[in-house]
Structure 1
Amino acid sequence: MEMNYKELSGLAREVERAGDLSYAASVWHKAAGKAKKEANKQWAVRRAAFCERWCGRIEKEKNNDGAVVTTR
């Protein structure tokens, strides 16, 4: 069954909150492709970019044993 924008954006939100930002970005991109309203499409594109950016930052901050190093 193919999912619509509402279903995909809900899934992306849940996955993002669970911390799987790489998968969330992928789902946000799919949601953007299903959006009928331009505002929804732009929101999904921005969320995907946000997840991709943070996913990259988290990977860079991991030390050798896999623990996340906080920088605050």
Structure 2
Amino acid sequence: MSKYEHLWKYLQADGSLTLKLSFDKIKTIIGFDIDHSFLTYKKEAGQFGYQVGKISMKEKHITFNQMDK
């Protein structure tokens, strides 16, 4: 099980075309602060129908986009 699996399942359950989540919201979902390892794990989102869009370190949020089905 991936350490980010709870996040991927959250995105899948939400089903929005685009979803912008703050780092704080992500921490609530996964139970820990997001770190640099996210860059390695972000490709896993595709297995749940999403791709990682913009990562804003300044505004502390990540945008996720639903992939074409």
The alignment's TM-score, normalised by the length of structure 2, stands at 0.28
Ranked by relative contact order (alpha carbons within 8 Å, sequence separation 6 or more), the top structure is 2
Q: Which has the higher helix share?
A: 1
Q: Pick the structure with more strand per residue.
A: 2
Alignment TM-score, normalising by the size of structure 1: 0.28
State which structure, 1 or 2, has the greater radius of gyration over its C-alpha atoms. Answer: 1
